[in-house]
Chains A and B, each alone.
Chain A
Amino acid sequence: MSHDPLSPSPRGPHCPPATVLEALSVGEAAPEAVRAHVEGCTDCRGQLAALTSGREAFLRAKPPELFLRQLERRAAAAPRKRWLRPLLAACVPLVLLLLIVPRLGEENGVRLKGDAFRVVVSRAGGAPELLAPDAQVHPGDALRFAYEAPEAGHLLVLELDGRGAASVFHPYGSATSAPLAAGQREFLPGSVVLDDAPGPEWLLAVFSPRPVEAAPLLEALRAQAGRAEPSLSCEGCRVMMLRLQKRP
């Protein structure tokens, strides 16, 4: 077979991407030039017509009221268990936790709806465990992080330890944040092994629509060493904190 799997689409050279036609089919806005092209293009009009009739048939087969009933049953049956099943299978003692506390300049009025910051600890010979606020951790424990946000952005996970040292845990040792896809529920790659600094260990997840420099935030954290609770100000960011208790 001589085809190449990546050969250009049979779509004409001036036709918009498939997803633009899909957006047009549900009435979303498109540039005037795109609309003008679609009106005069047999292929594009044909694709729009196919999408419209496909939608009508889909809704006839499953109208909204039926779909909503299915959603209700699904939510009532197992609120989030379906997605935790693989983890549950692998981990025996599991404590689900999340401390979601906004630590931003209040003048920003940021929303935290839909965001979640999770930390899991792995110990030699033990099952991974999701950490609750003030959970006990020990030197040598390996931490992994997950951050879920409804939109794509950039993430930094910072640490302030009991000795007042601040560092970047994700992306580990980096000077800037790492891109984060929207709705990312998987744990981020790599883990961080805790050192022997005793006392409260603060983990701060900083999520921003734009890349974030770590240096000023680390400096701000170091300046707050010893305080009961640190805070961070970062324009346009959402900050969540989790305090752990490190014991020898």
Chain B
Amino acid sequence: MDDVQLARLYEQYGYLVHRRCLQLVRRPEDAEDALQETFLRVKRYDGPREGGSLLAWLYTIAQRCCFDLLERRGREPTLEEGQLAALEERGQGSPEDGDRRALLGLALRQLDGKTRTIGVLHFLDGYTQEEVAAQTGYSRRTIGKKLQQFEQRLRQLWQARPRLKERR
């Protein structure tokens, strides 16, 4: 992909890709890092399959970049609650949405790659389990099992959350 095509792609999709990265990695500097890495990979690739959604393709690459980054960050201390609160303030939509996104980020750090991918498609993209199965190539049974693990981890984090707030 040449620079003209890349610039056009960025102009059209850069904001959404950056937004998705921010939802996943939470730190603005990490989101910037992931955005740049996403477009560097895009430059090497040839584009989605004919008829495929460019946005879905870019989200998939961005997600992979974010997961790579989260793997590296996994060795670092957990984020401070103040940063968690900042994410919630930045969240669009209802307060519950902000909470969900914040918890999603925490859960992502603690789950394997397959579960992460499935969780993002279901909880961030809003796809049904059948649609997630179709997109990832995993069986419907695997999707259900992985989402159960994801939900269990999210619920644990949700229960722990009031205690975090009290310490602010």
Interface contact B46-A111, CB-CB below 8 Å: yes
Q: How far is the CB of A12 from chain B (nearest CB, A)?
A: 12
Q: Does A109 contact B (CB under 8 A)?
A: no
Q: How far is the CB of B18 from chain A (nearest CB, A)?
A: 7
One of B55, B99, B125, B151 near A17 (C-beta < 8 A):
B125
Closest B residue by C-beta to A85: B72
Q: How far is the CB of B97 from chain A (nearest CB, A)?
A: 7
Query: How would residues 33 to 67 of chain A score, 1 for a CB under 8 Å from any chain B CB and 0 otherwise?
Result: 00000000000000000110011001100101101
Known: A19-B56, A50-B92, A181-B114. A114 touches B39 (CB 8 A): no
A55 vs B126: C-alpha distance in the bound complex, in angstroms?
Answer: 21
A85 vs B68: C-alpha distance in the bound complex, in angstroms?
Answer: 11
Interface contact A179-B14, CB-CB below 8 Å: no
- The B-contacting residues of A in range 165-189, CB under 8 angstroms, are 179-186
Interface contact A54-B60, CB-CB below 8 Å: no
One of B13, B40, B126, B155 near A19 (C-beta < 8 A):
B126
Interface contact B155-A5, CB-CB below 8 Å: yes
A17 vs B132: C-alpha distance in the bound complex, in angstroms?
Answer: 12
Q: Does A23 contact B (CB under 8 A)?
A: yes
Closest A residue by C-beta to B154: A5
Chain B residues with Cβ below 8 Å from A70 are: 36
Interface contact A55-B16, CB-CB below 8 Å: yes
Interface contact B64-A183, CB-CB below 8 Å: yes
One of B7, B12, B92 near A27 (C-beta < 8 A):
B12
Chain B residues with Cβ below 8 Å from A27 are: 12
Interface contact A23-B53, CB-CB below 8 Å: yes
Q: How far is the CB of A209 from chain B (nearest CB, A)?
A: 8
Interface contact B14-A59, CB-CB below 8 Å: yes
Q: Does B93 contact A (CB under 8 A)?
A: yes
Query: How would residues 81 to 112 of chain A score, 1 for a CB under 8 Å from any chain B CB and 0 otherwise?
Result: 01101100000000000000000000000010
Chain B residues with Cβ below 8 Å from A3 are: 96, 99, 158
Q: Does B111 contact A (CB under 8 A)?
A: no
A53 vs B36: C-alpha distance in the bound complex, in angstroms?
Answer: 22
One of A4, A5, A51, A74 near B40 (C-beta < 8 A):
A74
Chain A residues with Cβ below 8 Å from B53 are: 23, 28
Q: Does A229 contact B (CB under 8 A)?
A: no
Q: How far is the CB of A56 from chain B (nearest CB, A)?
A: 8
Q: How far is the CB of A22 from chain B (nearest CB, A)?
A: 5
Q: How far is the CB of A15 from chain B (nearest CB, A)?
A: 9
Q: Does A231 contact B (CB under 8 A)?
A: no
Chain A residues with Cβ below 8 Å from B56 are: 19, 23
A4 vs B41: C-alpha distance in the bound complex, in angstroms?
Answer: 37
Q: How far is the CB of A39 from chain B (nearest CB, A)?
A: 20
Extra contacts, 6 of them, besides A17-B126, A65-B7, A183-B60 (Cβ < 8 A), are A55-B15, A64-B11, A85-B72, A86-B71, A113-B45, A181-B113
List chain A positions with a Cβ less than 8 A from chain B: 1, 3-7, 9-11, 16-20, 22-23, 25-28, 50-51, 54-55, 58-59, 62, 64-65, 67-68, 70-71, 74-75, 82-83, 85-86, 111, 113-114, 150-154, 179-186, 211
